[in-house]
Amino acid sequence: MSTYVYGIARAGHPEPEQEILGIGDPPRPVRVVRGGDLAAIVSDCPDRLRPKRRDLLAHQHVLTEAGADGAVLPLRFGSLSDSDEAVQEVLAEHAEHYKAQLDDLNGRVEYNVKAAHREEDVLRRVLVEEPEIRALNEANQASGGGAYQDKLRLGELIANAVRAREVGDAHTVETALTPRAEQSRPGPEGAGWLVNLSFLMRREDAAAFLEAADRLGSDHPHLELLVNGPLPPYSFVRPLESAAAE
Amino acid sequence: MTVVPAQQQSGGGGGTSGLYDVLELILDRGLVIDAFVRVSLVGIEILKIDVRVVVASVDTYLRFAEACNRLDLETGANKSPGLPDVVGQVTESGAKGKSKGALSGAAETFAEAIGQGRDKAEAEGEPQRRPRRTASRKKEESE
């Protein structure tokens, strides 16, 4: 049976007071595999693991629970090893790299911030702020919506105006929140958000960060802000290559 | 602003919206160790594509044009002398509190204009125009 690995911690990482349940149906209990100065947080892996909603949640849940007791390097979802012994070999092989990162991330949490425009609010702003677009819109409205070409031209102008505001607002969000965190990283590429950033901070600084995010939201009511956290520091673990390059 | 504490998402396997928003982090971030095999994510790719909807630009243009066409801004401009003031106040560099006030003021003007339009339409027995702002209502409900 293969071993599912959630994360890597120090060997002294406390045992959880209550049993943590991991992936699988029924959920497999989480255990700790120790090797040298390090420990891996693992469970058995069901025979045919598929990335189901409940398993993604379980991965997140285990890392959150274990992370509450001390630094844990979160592994990407779906990391499997042949056996507990093979996990121990990995811990031993790159122990210094993992220990350095555990020191860096000790007591830190990640918050992910996404922002989008509230569409109707931003369109209203564009119409109010750009006389040319407003005039064209009025002309189209007067002719019952306008011809296809007129609509296309209006729409293109609006799209450009919205894009310009997306760039400006992305900058606004970044400038407002970056000083409140130790590090920031762009989130995975994806459409639908004008900005997607992850921030790393000390756990005790999270309240001030959330306050800043709250203020940002009320200062810019046309922005829809989505703040997720505290999260395991998914975006701030470094792969071996970058450690070698340092 | 919406804050979703991680504990709420993971508690009892219940939370759904939270998972959706951090899915990309669970799947695309986190440490990758070469010696470990990664489980096949065949099923999940579809879910990720779903998250990353890309709308072709022509469709976007037409959608924006339609959305603005429905905003009924010109009625507000004609009926309310307040709009030019609004234009003056809403500037990039303007005080934030001020522009917020101006915006909600403008929103009230629109609401009045829409209300007047509706009353007028009903009084004259015109067919009711398609309801406005349904998109934004949906959004508010989902928050």
> B13-25, pLDDT tens digit by residue?
333 446 677 888 8
- Kindly indicate the confidence band of residue B43, based on its pLDDT and cuts at 50, 70 and 90: low
Residue B37, pLDDT > 80, answer yes
- Stronger pLDDT, B4 or A68, i.e. the higher one: A68
Task: Say yes or no: B2 contacts chain A, CB-CB below 8 A.
Answer: yes
Give which of A228, A236, A240 to mutate to test B binding, by max B Cβ within 10 Å: A228
What average pLDDT does the segment B122-128 reach?
37
ipTM score: 0.82
- Ramachandran category for residue A192: left, alpha or beta (phi over 0 → left; psi -120 to 50 → alpha): left
Residue A114's DSSP bridge partners are A196, A226
Q: C-alpha A165: how far from its chain's center?
A: 23
Rounded to whole angstroms, the Cα distance separating A22 from B120 reads: 62
- C-alpha torsion sign, points A196, A201, A203, A204: negative
Residue-level pLDDT at B102 = 33
Q: Is B94 helix (H, G, I), strand (E, B) or coil?
A: coil
Cis peptide before B5 (omega within 30 of 0): no
Size of interface A-B (CB pairs under 8 A): 251
A227:B96 CB<8 A? no
Task: Say yes or no: A112 contacts chain B, CB-CB below 8 A.
Answer: yes
Closest to A167 in 3D by CA, of B76, B83, B92: B92
Q: What is the CB-side half-sphere exposure of residue B109 using CA atoms within 13 A? A: 24
A78:B39 CB<8 A? yes
B65:A152 CB<8 A? yes
Judging contacts by C-beta atoms under 8 Å, the chain B residues touching residue A81 are: 35-37
Between strands A223-231 and B2-4, the pairing is: parallel
- Stronger pLDDT, A46 or B99, i.e. the higher one: A46
Residue-level pLDDT at A29 = 95
Task: Say yes or no: A134 contacts chain B, CB-CB below 8 A.
Answer: yes
What percentage of chain B exceeds 90 in pLDDT?
4
Rounded to whole angstroms, the Cα distance separating A168 from A162 reads: 10
Residue-level pLDDT at B1 = 60
User: Which residues lie below 8 Å from residue A167, measured CB to CB, with a gap of 6+?
Assistant: A194
What average pLDDT does the segment B48-73 reach?
68
Residue recorded with tokens 């899915």: B23
Q: Using an 8 Å Cβ cutoff, are A183 and A236 in contact?
A: yes
Kindly state the DSSP code that residue A14 receives in the 8-state scheme.
P
Give the closest of A151, A158, A214 to B1, CB-based.
A214
- Stronger pLDDT, A233 or B85, i.e. the higher one: A233
Rounded to whole angstroms, the Cα distance separating B6 from A67 reads: 12
Tokens of A103: 């020191």
Please state at what angle helix B96-123 crosses helix A119-129, rounded to 10 degrees.
100
- Kindly indicate the confidence band of residue B90, based on its pLDDT and cuts at 50, 70 and 90: very low
Both ends of chain A: CA-CA distance in Å? 37
Q: C-alpha A63: how far from its chain's center?
A: 14
Residue recorded with tokens 């049976």: A1
Task: Say yes or no: B130 contacts chain A, CB-CB below 8 A.
Answer: no
- Kindly indicate the confidence band of residue B117, based on its pLDDT and cuts at 50, 70 and 90: very low
Residue-level pLDDT at B47 = 52
What average pLDDT does the segment B45-58 reach?
51
Stated pTM of the model: 0.72
Give the closest of B7, B10, B30 to A77, CB-based.
B30
Rounded to whole angstroms, the Cα distance separating A128 from B90 reads: 8
Residue-level pLDDT at B4 = 52
Residue-level pLDDT at A245 = 46
A246 to chain B, closest Cα gap in Å: 17
Residue A146's DSSP bridge partners are none
Residue B130, pLDDT > 50, answer no
> What one-character-per-residue DSSP string does A192-225 give?
T-SEEEEEEEEGGGHHHHHHHHHHHHHH-TTEEE
Per-residue pLDDT of chain A (246 residues; tens, 9 = 90+): 799 999 999 999 988 888 999 999 899 999 999 999 999 999 999 888 877 788 988 999 999 999 988 999 999 999 999 999 999 999 999 999 999 999 999 999 999 999 999 999 999 999 999 999 999 999 999 998 888 999 999 999 999 999 999 999 999 999 999 999 999 999 987 767 899 999 999 999 999 999 999 999 999 999 999 999 999 999 999 987 654 444
Judging contacts by C-beta atoms under 8 Å, the chain A residues touching residue B106 are: 124, 128
Task: Say yes or no: B99 contacts chain A, CB-CB below 8 A.
Answer: no
Task: Say yes or no: A164 contacts chain B, CB-CB below 8 A.
Answer: no
